[in-house]
Structure 1
Amino acid sequence: MSAWLDSLTGWLGVHPQWLGLALFVVACVECLAIAGILVPGTVLLFGIAVLAGSGALDLWQTLLLGYTGGLLGDALSYAVGRRFHQNIRRLPVLRHHPEWIGSAEAYFHRYGVVSLLVGRYIGPLRPMLPMVAGMLDMPLGRFIGVSLIAAAGWSVAYLLPGWTTGAAMRLPLPPGFWADAAWVIGGLALVIGLTVHGSLRGRRWATPVTAGLSLLALLALLLGWPYLHELDQGLLTLIQEQRSAGLDRYMVLLTRLGDLRTQVVVGVLLVGLLLATRQWRAGLFAGGALLGTALANGLLKALFARSRPEVLLEPLSSFSLPSGHSSAAFAFFLTLGILAGRGQPVRWRLTWLLLAGLPALAIALSRVYLGVHWPTDIIAGALLAGGFCAVSLSLAQWHTPLAALSQRIWWLILPACLALLGAFALWALPEALQRYAY
């Protein structure tokens, strides 16, 4: 299998004109029922994304091809399920592996629409859930709406790392770039790996250890950022290379979601709604995570006083480390992800955290794209938010775990918070476009 993959990526490297089609087809197959389990699509997607980032395709082209390919795979799987219903079980492959469709059907029955969002990031479930949705007659309009959202996050999560790797290999980066990158990636991998390991093993100390590891990694980054200049400069150059007038508008809209005023108002709304619905411990957890992150971020900025990159015509006056937008966005969305995972199996809780991290990551990356933060600024913000969320969660469930929120409460909280975020971002968009011009 390894030789076959190497020969395919080698052929695509020699014939880059076929790279876009290959990316579209592999993304489609990866999300196609049954085929997505048999074909090593994740490995293929990473290899093709590396080739795309080496200069064959722009980032937006790579993400768009992966997005549309994934949507087509979802649509075909749904159509097959809708056409054949229970007769699908008679297919030779599924007769020999009934657990494939059985596990997907169990997840769909338990979580409904949410299973299509969360299951997108669980390998064996990803290609089977759309077919099960069609088999169980999920309304077409609802399936299309969920699939449009799920495929967007999936394409970013699966293609951005590979594309970034390829682009970094192409550019003339500073001599110490790869050594710095190895240290930072290794540290983050250690924190994430130990967190996942402790959670999967059901250790009671997993959350406090996560808090300690996150804050320890943050301390190391705060002390070591002067030695990571090559990494910061290289990644900033890589991301700035993708700037365009058309993309600027969307990035400014994203960055507005992380503004201090926006995050304060939406944070107060979230905590207020939790307390109003008598979710006392959930409200205390959310308030502690958001307030603790905000106060610590302001203190660290004043303490380290790091200057911003010199990209904007009129640079912002405040200091950059850690990124306030990054810490606020990660604190808010991780809080939602933690609350969404209460009462669910560990794998689902971790998947909810992954989903929650995607919009926060988009907001954080918009700061580097706009040239107002160094990459290590947004990493520090994410570690700060992760650490304080874990601390607040540990205190909130010191004696007993937090209870799951009912669907009625979620239907109150989620639309209200998202609507307020969008309203604030759109209201100040014209002013922000002038502010972040370069």
Structure 2
Amino acid sequence: MREAVQPPVSLATAHDAPIHSNLVGRAHEVVADIHHGGATTLAVAVLVGGMAMFLGASVWRSLQRDRRGPAAAAIAVQCAGLAAVFVALAYQVRAGGWVTGADPAVLGWFTGHRSDWLTGPAIAVTDAGGPAGTIILAVAIGAVLSRRARSPIPALILIGTVGAAALASAVTKSVVGRARPPIVSQVLFETDHSFPSGHATGAMALFMMAAVMFGYGLPPARRALLLILAAVVTVVVSVTRLYLGEHWLTDVVGGVLLGGLAAVIGGALYTSWMDRTRAPGVRIPEEVTPHSSRSNPTTMGRAA
């Protein structure tokens, strides 16, 4: 009987599977790199473009003065720019993009420069700038503004703006789901989600709104001074969150952006309401014409 002859094993067949797997794997890596690079490029474009929109609209708005139509358009562009920057930053944080690259270094710098004489005041500031402190300040400032305006509307606008900013911050925390810095770096133990910083959000919304509302009707220099003061307070609160190791750098930047967006919208509502109440033709109690039956001192009660 003749034995069946087995066909020779091809070298190409023996190595085809590994070669094919390597090529497919490499192709997936290249596609992933291209996709990641495209997403990064898009994020950079949105960040830069959104900030340019906000700054340009801010300058445009400052030049409009009492022209309501162009001012409203400028406010819309401001809001669109801030919203675009915030969304792009949130996406980068969730994806662990290049924007977050400086976070560990900044956290390490702050934790490495702690001192006993700074930690106590930092804890006091961060406690005052927390949810409870922000609510108390919003109610107090709103009461002062409403008493001055003899209407509950200013308080409702201020509290509503701060509350909306806090709600948006809580929702974003759940969506992004970023973890807090390591526990060993935290002075105050916190375990909820990290982005954006609720302290930075609340401080920016509250103090910027207060600056806009107290500055209504004041000269431009005084309004600018109030805005600068509000920005300084917001920065101090935000820095305490970094110093105490409770947040990453991009967390507080995101909080400032979100709080700023809320302040732009709330400030526009307040300004619009004040413009309507002070519009020409509105009757003011102090300017009521004297009653016709009252004697005229120049005529001693006689007909002129």
TM normalised by structure 2 equals 0.65
1:237 and 2:111 correspond: no
- 1:190 corresponds, among 52, 60, 82, to 52
Unaligned runs of 5+ in 2: 1-40, 65-69, 279-304
- Give the distance between the partners of 1:249 and 1:212, measured in 2 at CA: 39
Structure 1 pair 398/275, CA: closer, same or farther in 2 (3 Å)?
A: closer
Residue in 2 that maps onto 1:214: 82
The answer to which of 216-225 and 237-246 deviates more is 237-246
- 1:300 corresponds, among 156, 172, 186, to 172
Residue in 1 that maps onto 2:158: 286
- Give the distance between the partners of 1:200 and 1:314, measured in 2 at CA: 41
Residue in 2 that maps onto 1:337: 211
- Give the distance between the partners of 1:263 and 1:238, measured in 2 at CA: 28
8 Å CA contact retained: 1:342, 1:402: no
Quote how far apart the aligned CAs of 1:290 are: 0.9
Quote how far apart the aligned CAs of 1:314 are: 7.0
1:366 and 2:237 correspond: no
Residue in 1 that maps onto 2:33: none
Residue in 1 that maps onto 2:200: 326
User: Could you give the per-residue CA deviations for residues 26-51 of structure 1, whole angstroms, max 9, x where no partner exists?
Assistant: xxxxxxxxxxxxxxxxxxxxxxxxxx
Quote how far apart the aligned CAs of 1:317 are: 1.7
User: Could you give the per-residue CA deviations for residues 256-311 of structure 1, whole angstroms, max 9, x where no partner exists?
Assistant: 12111111222222223433442444223212211111111111112222111111
User: Could you give the per-residue CA deviations for residues 62-97 of structure 1, whole angstroms, max 9, x where no partner exists?
Assistant: xxxxxxxxxxxxxxxxxxxxxxxxxxxxxxxxxxxx
User: Could you give the per-residue CA deviations for residues 309-339 of structure 1, whole angstroms, max 9, x where no partner exists?
Assistant: 1112774121111111111111111111111
Q: 1:88-127, aligned counterparts within 5 Å?
A: none
Residue in 2 that maps onto 1:394: 268
- Give the distance between the partners of 2:134 and 2:151, measured in 1 at CA: 21
- Give the distance between the partners of 1:194 and 1:238, measured in 2 at CA: 34
User: Could you give the per-residue CA deviations for residues 371-427 of structure 1, whole angstroms, max 9, x where no partner exists?
Assistant: 0001111111111111111112223344763879xxxxxxxxxxxxxxxxxxxxxxx
- Give the distance between the partners of 1:321 and 1:285, measured in 2 at CA: 26
Between Structure 1 and Structure 2, how many residues are aligned? Answer: 224
Letter matched to residue 298 of structure 1? A
Q: Which gives a bigger RCO, structure 1 or 2 (Cα 8 Å, sep 6+)?
A: 2
Letter matched to residue 341 of structure 1? G
Structure 1 pair 395/237, CA: closer, same or farther in 2 (3 Å)?
A: same
Structure 1 pair 187/358, CA: closer, same or farther in 2 (3 Å)?
A: farther
Letter matched to residue 91 of structure 2? L
Residue in 2 that maps onto 1:200: 62
Structure 1 pair 191/236, CA: closer, same or farther in 2 (3 Å)?
A: farther
Structure 1 pair 283/249, CA: closer, same or farther in 2 (3 Å)?
A: same
RMSD of aligned Cα (Å): 2.8
2:275 is paired with a residue whose SS is coil
Residue in 2 that maps onto 1:247: 118
User: Could you give the per-residue CA deviations for residues 346-385 of structure 1, whole angstroms, max 9, x where no partner exists?
Assistant: 4543332122110111001100111000111111111111
- Give the distance between the partners of 1:347 and 1:220, measured in 2 at CA: 34
Unaligned runs of 5+ in 1: 1-178, 405-438
8 Å CA contact retained: 1:306, 1:320: yes
8 Å CA contact retained: 2:58, 2:78: no
8 Å CA contact retained: 2:216, 2:271: no
1:309 and 2:181 correspond: yes
Q: 1:420-431, aligned counterparts within 5 Å?
A: none
User: Could you give the per-residue CA deviations for residues 128-186 of structure 1, whole angstroms, max 9, x where no partner exists?
Assistant: xxxxxxxxxxxxxxxxxxxxxxxxxxxxxxxxxxxxxxxxxxxxxxxxxxx9xx98995
8 Å CA contact retained: 2:187, 2:244: no
Q: Which structure: larger Rg?
A: 2
- Give the distance between the partners of 2:175 and 2:235, measured in 1 at CA: 25
8 Å CA contact retained: 1:208, 1:394: no
TM normalised by structure 1 equals 0.46
Residue in 1 that maps onto 2:9: none
- Give the distance between the partners of 1:184 and 1:248, measured in 2 at CA: 37
8 Å CA contact retained: 2:188, 2:244: no
1:274 and 2:140 correspond: no
Quote how far apart the aligned CAs of 1:190 are: 2.8
8 Å CA contact retained: 2:187, 2:246: no
Residue in 1 that maps onto 2:136: 265
Quote how far apart the aligned CAs of 1:345 are: 4.0
